[in-house]
């Protein structure tokens, strides 16, 4: 059954067909494009309460609409992806910022990265605590430091020098994530292991033809020992160059090993593959062959979009300058 974001009137007026998983609008061009995701995984009808599902659709739609306002007014792709991800970091419905999962110690450790296409400028933070918007910290690293990645207490200290907002630990705690931690620990105690992860991200093309990508996450439920996934790693979770931009979501260890985001764009740039062919090869073939799963959102300089995922679903949405706008959660939307 097709589901639409009922609280956003613009979605009801959109006339173009929704992109099925992994189907790109190849060869088309547009003045600007925004694509967002709220993570791939066990996203199936009935897996969320009606309230949670409505909240996911609402907040995903708000992120898209915010980016639309920026891009339609001539704003940059960098600002568009920053603001889209920042809003999703404030949503308790996604595994980033306020909705971040718990570590084995009952804490929230946050990762984020951002990249600008033509210049290759990039910034990332990993394993930070208390930073309300890790994506703003990642952008500050890119724009106001000589480094690409900062981690842990050092990243937090840098964020304070940039006057970024910090929140108390309790602000990040949600009952849903607490239950997920308990379930994961029970699985571990019985000898089982069920990875529980999620991510948010955005890719955008602005009126000047500039691409940008951004990704943010709370990582994996019940993670230990300062585990870092792919989201803050340039080339694995996030990549943007002059021709292609990608934000990944999935089992981070495999996306790191596959250098997944970069691999997609490399196949486009060096092999001449259509964006969807490249994205599907990595997500539907290479990652599963290694034992991982997940999805990506990918965008090329000609406005082609690809959103393949090999999981039960992926929260996702996009909008174009022609007025097309869509938000979806499940595989059959």
Catalytic residues: 199
Q: What pLDDT is stored for residue 197 in this prediction?
A: 65
- Report whether 321 contacts 72 (CB < 8 A): yes
Q: What pLDDT is stored for residue 44 in this prediction?
A: 82
Structure tokens at 289: 């062959």
| 222-273 pLDDT, tens digit each | 999 999 999 999 999 999 999 999 999 999 999 999 999 999 999 999 999 9
- Residue appearing with tokens 């974001």: 5
Distances (CA, A) of 188 to 150, 151, 152, 172: 31, 27, 26, 24
What span, in angstroms and rounded, lies between the C-alpha atoms of 163 and 328?
35
In the chain, the N- to C-terminal Cα span, in Å, equals: 7
Q: What pLDDT is stored for residue 179 in this prediction?
A: 87
Annotated domain spans of the chain: 9-93+111-119+197-330
Residue 20 is classified by DSSP as P
Structure tokens at 314: 């992926």
**Burial class (CB within 10 angstroms; exposed 0-12, middle 13-18, buried 19+) of 281:** middle
Q: What pLDDT is stored for residue 4 in this prediction?
A: 33
| SS3 category, 157 | helix
Instruction: Kindly report the pTM of this predicted structure.
Output: 0.90
Alpha-carbon dihedral sign for residues 97, 103, 109, 111: negative
Give CA 105 to chain center in angstroms: 25
CB neighbours of residue 26 within 10 Å: 15
Mean pLDDT, 10 residues at a time, the chain of 333 residues: 33 34 43 96 85 95 98 97 98 95 94 98 98 98 98 98 97 89 80 69 98 97 94 98 97 97 98 98 98 97 97 96 96 91
Q: What pLDDT is stored for residue 319 in this prediction?
A: 98
Alpha-carbon dihedral sign for residues 179, 182, 183, 184: positive
Q: What pLDDT is stored for residue 132 in this prediction?
A: 98
Structure tokens at 57: 């659709």
- 143-149 long-range contacts, CB within 8 A, separation 24+: 147/123, 148/122, 148/123, 148/124, 148/234, 149/113, 149/123, 149/124, 149/125, 149/232, 149/233, 149/234
Backbone angles phi, psi at 126, to 5 degrees: -140, 140
- Report whether 61 contacts 317 (CB < 8 A): yes
Structure tokens at 17: 């067909």
CATH number of 9-93+111-119+197-330: 3.60.20.30
Q: What pLDDT is stored for residue 317 in this prediction?
A: 98
Outline where the chain has alpha helix (H).
9-13, 50-72, 77-89, 134-144, 152-161, 175-189, 252-258, 260-271, 275-280, 287-290
Q: What pLDDT is stored for residue 195 in this prediction?
A: 57
Provide the angle, in degrees to the nearest 10, between the axes of the packed helices 134-144 and 152-161: 80
Q: What pLDDT is stored for residue 196 in this prediction?
A: 59
Backbone angles phi, psi at 113, to 5 degrees: -150, 160
């Amino acid at each position: 059954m097709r589901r639409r974001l009922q609280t956003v009137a613009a979605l009801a007026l959109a006339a173009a067909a929704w992109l099925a998983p992994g189907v790109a609008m190849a060869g088309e061009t547009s003045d600007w494009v925004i694509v967002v995701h709220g993570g791939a995984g066990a996203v199936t009808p009935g897996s969320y309460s009606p309230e949670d599902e409505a909240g996911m659709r609402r907040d995903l739609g708000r992120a898209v609409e915010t980016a639309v306002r920026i891009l339609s007014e001539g704003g940059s792709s960098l600002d568009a992806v920053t603001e889209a991800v920042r809003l999703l970091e404030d949503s308790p419905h996604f595994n980033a910022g306020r909705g971040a999962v718990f570590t084995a110690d009952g804490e929230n450790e946050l990762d984020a990265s951002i990249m600008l296409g033509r210049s290759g400028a990039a910034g990332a933070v990993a394993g930070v605590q208390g930073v309300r918007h890790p994506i703003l910290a990642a952008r500050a690293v890119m724009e106001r430091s000589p480094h690409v990645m900062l981690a842990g207490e050092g990243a937090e200290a840098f964020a304070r020098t940039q006057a970024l907002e910090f929140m108390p630990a309790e602000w990040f705690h949600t009952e849903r994530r607490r239950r997920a931690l308990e379930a994961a620990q029970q699985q571990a105690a019985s000898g089982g292991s069920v990875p529980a992860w999620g991510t948010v991200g955005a890719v955008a093309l602005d009126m000047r033809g500039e691409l940008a990508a951004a990704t943010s996450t709370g990582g994996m439920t019940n993670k230990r020992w300062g585990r870092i996934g792919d989201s803050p790693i340039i080339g694995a979770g996030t990549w943007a160059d002059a021709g292609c931009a990608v934000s990944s979501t999935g089992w981070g260890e495999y996306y790191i090993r596959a250098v997944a985001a970069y691999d997609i764009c490399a196949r486009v740039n060096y092999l001449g593959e259509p964006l969807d062919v490249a994205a599907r090869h990595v997500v539907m073939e290479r990652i599963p062959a290694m034992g991982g799963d997940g999805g990506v959102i990918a965008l090329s300089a000609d406005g082609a979009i690809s959103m393949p995922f090999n999981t039960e679903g992926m929260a996702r949405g996009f909008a174009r300058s022609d007025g097309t706008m869509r938000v979806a959660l499940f595989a059959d939307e």
